[in-house]
């Protein structure tokens, strides 16, 4: 899967930690249109990408059930333990950048961990298919 992506995207990715993120609608379109400038991942357990990504890593963007459509550099990342930080603080401070509605927060209210990923230098690519199997919504493709 890694070689498929590298061959279809760019040499810009060499020497970087590369992640594959699966994105669903309507959030994918908001991100591609530049309205959503922070991606979030909330979970009940410590799972990727929590504490496994850093500034300047690359995220390859794959549409849920679809093609790879873009990639971006991580400008910054913040991790939250939601036993120590109230989810409403994240909502109040970052909602407009996450470009999510009230229904999103209702779905995430029982989460224990959160990762906020600040999007930088998003590059759209000619969509292409990769053979990704399984239900994981975040994969580390290559670590440096």
Q: Average model confidence (pLDDT) for the chain?
A: 91
With H, G, I as helix, E, B as strand and everything else as coil, classify residue 125. strand
Dihedral angle at the C-alpha atoms of 42, 47, 49, 52, nearest 10 degrees?
140
DSSP state of 39: E
Dihedral angle at the C-alpha atoms of 23, 24, 27, 32, nearest 10 degrees?
60
CA distance 120 to 138: 18
pLDDT digit string, tens, across residues 10-38: 656 667 899 999 999 999 999 999 999 99
- Give 4's pLDDT tier (boundaries 50, 70, 90): low
Sign of CA dihedral 45, 19, 27, 94: positive
Give residue 143's pLDDT: 85
pLDDT digit string, tens, across residues 103-115: 999 999 999 999 9
Give residue 7's pLDDT: 58
Give residue 9's pLDDT: 64
Residue 119's CB is within 10 A of a number of other CB atoms, namely 20
pLDDT digit string, tens, across residues 115-143: 999 999 899 999 999 888 888 999 998 88
* pTM, two decimal places: 0.90
First to last CA, the chain: 17
| Token output for 113 | 């961990």
């Amino acid at each position: 899967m890694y070689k498929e992506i590298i061959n279809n995207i760019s040499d810009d990715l060499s020497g970087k930690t590369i992640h594959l993120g699966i994105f669903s609608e309507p959030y994918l379109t908001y991100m591609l249109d530049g309205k959503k400038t922070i991606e979030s991942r909330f979970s009940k357990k410590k799972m990727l990408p929590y504490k496994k990504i850093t500034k300047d890593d690359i995220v390859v963007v794959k549409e849920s059930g679809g093609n790879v459509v873009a990639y971006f550099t991580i400008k910054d990342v913040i991790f939250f333990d939601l036993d120590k930080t109230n989810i409403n603080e994240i909502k109040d401070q970052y909602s407009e950048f996450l470009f999510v509605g009230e229904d999103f927060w209702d779905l995430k209210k029982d989460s224990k961990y959160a990762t906020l990923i600040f999007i930088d230098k998003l590059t759209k690519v000619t969509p292409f298919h990769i053979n990704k199997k399984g239900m994981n919504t975040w994969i580390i493709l290559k670590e440096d």
